[in-house]
Amino acid sequence: MDFKKNILVTGGAGFIGSHAVRHFVKKYSAYKIINLDKLTYAGNLENLKDIENSENYVFIRGDITDSELVESIFSEHSIDSVIHLAAESHVDRSIVSPMDFIQTNIIGTFTLLNAAKKFWQTSNHKPQTTNLFYHISTDEVYGSLGATGYFTEETSYDPRSPYSASKAGSDHLVMAYHHTYKLPVVITNCSNNYGPFQFPEKLMPLIIHNIVHQKPLPVYGKGENVRDWLFVQDHVEAMDTVFHKGKEGETYNIGGSNEWKNIDLVRKICSIMDEKLKRAAGSSEKLITFVKDRAGHDLRYAIDSGKIQRELGWKPAHRFEDGIELTIDWYMNNSEWLNHVTSGEYQKYYQEQYVNR
């Protein structure tokens, strides 16, 4: 079957990646989606069971730092577009094991850029209507805000952790390839995502899981750190918009305009879950445990997403009240998934099924 586009999605078995893969596979039957994922602890093919047999979907287990594998995928599948999501993304892990973040986030991005440049710019490459290297990044590259102000696309980079520094480095590489080699690229920097299928090292699923099991709810410092929360499906819709309408060489910030102090967010989840679990009001709040603050913990992130709204017509569709209800309900109704991913059961099974090429 001839497809209109052959899109390589990296990290498509992860949290945001699985939502993006499902969205593109279901919405665009004329697009072939090739999902390349290493299946580390946070990558889980169980997230994609509903589309795994789709005619326009292919899964390949592999590492984005493997240049031979990446180039073979470009050649075999005539890749004309890349949606690059694969990344090590947990700040705490970056503090303990920074080299993993340098390898995946910088070397991996470099490997993909080289493959795209080589394949798209060779004389024997069949011309496509368009090529695009779409790099998904984070608001953390901008550093930390005070009590006021917002990150814009013009904000200077000021990363404060090995994670954010590695993502900043990958952003710069992408733009360098655009300016030096004329590679068609676009970058988006998003705020904190939440929603179904997120690995429970992240704040929301961790708090939800611990409340269900009446375990301590760890909160860094005094819980004063502020984050802008974006429902994952709104992020995916923004990605779709940027992929189809974004201007080559541009950066777009994607945010939820939804700031919460960590402690207030945790208390909000406690209140909702006490009601859902038919527990006494305030009982879950008693589980809150303040722990030593993270090293170099940025105080506040907040995104001004005015550019993407003005120029491309995107805005978040979900109110936070609705998004948080959907998220809590999903985790409460999928406790088996949560237990399996924390045990590593699914990862082990799929790693045995898909041997590295």
Q: What pLDDT tens digit does each residue of the chain (357 aa) get?
A: 789 999 999 999 999 999 999 999 999 999 999 999 999 888 889 899 999 999 999 999 999 999 999 999 999 999 999 999 999 887 888 899 999 999 999 999 999 999 999 999 885 555 555 899 999 999 999 999 988 999 999 999 999 999 999 999 999 999 999 999 999 999 999 999 999 999 888 899 999 999 999 999 999 999 999 999 999 999 999 999 999 999 999 999 999 999 999 999 999 999 999 999 999 999 999 999 999 988 878 889 999 999 999 999 999 999 999 999 999 999 999 988 877 777 766 556 555 666 544
Q: Where are the beta strands (DSSP E) in 95-175?
A: 132-138
Residues annotated catalytic, as ranges: 139-140, 163
pLDDT of residue 294: 81
pTM of the model: 0.92
Q: What does the block give as tokens for 11?
A: 């990290």
Return the CATH class of domain 5-353: alpha beta
Q: What does the block give as tokens for 178?
A: 């655009």
pLDDT of residue 357: 44
Question: Could you tell me which residues are beta bridge partners of residue 78?
Answer: none
The gap from C-alpha 13 to its chain's centroid, in whole angstroms, comes to 10
CB-based contact 204:194 (threshold 8 Å): yes
Quickly count: other Cβ atoms within 10 Å of residue 121's Cβ: 12
pLDDT of residue 302: 93
CB-based contact 24:241 (threshold 8 Å): no
| Residue in 53, 74, 64, 55 with CA at minimum distance from that of residue 12 | 64
Helix (H, G, I), strand (E, B) or coil at 96: helix
| H-type alpha helices, 182-334 | 203-212, 232-245, 262-276, 306-312, 320-333
pLDDT of residue 308: 98
Quickly count: other Cβ atoms within 10 Å of residue 123's Cβ: 4
The contacts of residue 122 (CB under 8 Å, 6+ apart) are: none
d(CA 149, CA 49): 42
Place of tokens 């490459």: 125
Residue 277 main-chain phi, psi, to 5 deg: -90, 0
Domain ranges of the chain: 5-353
pLDDT of residue 129: 57
pLDDT of residue 130: 86
